[in-house]
Amino acid sequence: MSTQTPDPATRGPRAADGPPIGALVPMIHVADPERSIRFYRLLGFEVGHFVPPAGPMHWAWLYAPKAADWKRGPNLMVTRSRTHRRADAGRPLLPLCRRSRPGAGDAARGRGGGR
């Protein structure tokens, strides 16, 4: 019997086909999502989805439509926040995006929502 403590990183379930996370998407806290979107459009981004569908925008997902694969290309989110003024409070969040089947993101890319 071994007296060594097992490494916690080697225990637990494992993904059969590699990590289930396909991308990390930074969420940036901003005072004005619409203004931020105008800036990011200058860098080649477009809005893929936003919430709410009417009234002042709360958050938006942006992607690069000219990327060879939009899922692997640059993506980011902007969210309306008052914390953007504090240097220590406006840290980006990193929502995890699961891998999906081909075509599953069509609605999110603007074919089912977005301005």
Looking at domain 19-102, its CATH architecture is 2-Layer Sandwich (3.30)
Q: pLDDT tens across 77-108, in order?
A: 999 988 755 555 555 555 555 555 455 444 44
Q: Helix (H, G, I), strand (E, B), or coil: what is residue 33?
A: helix
CA 75 – CA 80 distance, rounded (Å): 17
Please report which residue ranges of 1-115 form alpha helices under DSSP H: 33-42
Task: Supply the pLDDT for residue 85.
Answer: 54
- 35 phi and psi, to 5 degrees? -65, -40
Q: pLDDT tens across 32-85, in order?
A: 999 999 999 999 999 999 999 888 899 999 999 999 988 788 999 999 988 755
**What is the residue extent of each domain of the chain?**
19-102
Q: pLDDT tens across 6-16, in order?
A: 666 666 666 66
End-to-end CA gap in the chain: 63
